[in-house]
Amino acid sequence: MHASACRIWLQGPLNPSSSAGTSRESHLYQASSPSGTLSHHPTSHTNIMGLFPLFLSICPDRSMLFKMVRQLLYMSVKRIKTGIPGLDGLIEGGLVQGSVNMITGSAGTGKTIFGAQFIWNGLQKGETGVYISLEESPEDIKEDMKIFGWDFEKYEKKGLCKIIYHDPAQVNNLSTVMTEEISNVDANRLVIDSTSVFGLNIENPSQIRRRLFGLASALKKHTDTTAIIITEIPEDSKALSRWGVEEFVVDSVLILNYLGIGEEYSRSLMIRKMRRTDHGKDIYPFEISNKGISLGTPKMNL
């Protein structure tokens, strides 16, 4: 069948769990060209893969069909905007809702600022947030962030966010504390800064890895909470994280770099992976101004 003849008309409700009173909507998906470009009027979240046999019976061109289904899957994913200028356009509008994302880099690359900016931008959109630090006191974090004009205390007083310190020697109960804090403010966004200190009270690397797996598993149970885990790469290390396991238990990895050539220094961001997202593949320069982090145009192509 020619691509232009491939038309799929779905009439709602598409979600089997929808109540009987849900209004019925019509959903038209059409491949308008042999390249598989997809238009939709309108789209809603549904079990697209469950409809694959139906799609195949209507449009037997498998190559084009796979492109269509891939686009449908992307469109059905709810995104949470980071609010960081220049970033959301590279990741299809934002982080996947309910995902666990890792921000990694060596010391001084802007990881803590990135995490705080993620929480702050959510607050500006009416979303609640929790920032758990294993390194700095809440007072220091809030004071440091005032340089960007981010007054977290105002939102804490309203019960919309919480910045807490968790003793790294007590990582055994971090998942429990995290769950309680998420529940206390019904958090839409969460930052844990950072997993690099997990080894302060645990000597066995395998135990550290088990703790990290447990933390990631606990996070993924909170499907309405989008999380960022911050970790640090040791200087001159080629690893992506301190313990070499974080990158395997998260949904995305963003690497921050701070490189010096002579007397010139520059910061850059690279998206190493991001599940369910067709993300940018370049190395993107960024700067830290009095408004926080903002990305620029890529200088080189990978």
**Would you tell me how many other CB atoms lie within 10 Å of the CB of residue 203?**
8
Helix, strand or coil for residue 43? coil
* pLDDT at residue 5 tops 60: no
* pLDDT at residue 174 tops 50: yes
Residue type, 67: K
Confidence of residue 36 (pLDDT cuts 50, 70, 90): very low
Helix, strand or coil for residue 280? coil
Is there a contact between 262 and 272 (Cβ–Cβ < 8 Å)? no
* Per-residue pLDDT at 175: 94
Q: What is the enclosing helix (H) or strand (E) of 289?
A: strand 283-289
**Would you tell me how many other CB atoms lie within 10 Å of the CB of residue 67?**
17
Strands 100-105 and 252-261: parallel
Give the mean pLDDT of 291-301.
84
Domains of the chain: 3-76 (no CATH), 79-295 (3.40.50.300)
Angle between helices 205-220 and 174-185 (to 10 degrees): 20
Q: pLDDT tens, 106-142?
A: 899 999 999 999 999 999 999 999 999 999 999 999 9
β-sheet bridge partners, residue 256: 105, 269
Is there a contact between 201 and 216 (Cβ–Cβ < 8 Å)? no
Q: Answer yes or no: pTM beyond 0.85.
A: no
Tokens at residue 286, please? 């960024």
* Per-residue pLDDT at 67: 66
Q: How far is CA 16 from CA 13, 44, 47, 55, 300, in A?
A: 7, 13, 9, 17, 46
Tokens at residue 161, please? 């966010």
* Per-residue pLDDT at 298: 86
Q: pLDDT tens, 55-95?
A: 666 676 777 766 666 666 666 789 999 999 999 999 999 99
* Per-residue pLDDT at 290: 97
Confidence of residue 27 (pLDDT cuts 50, 70, 90): very low
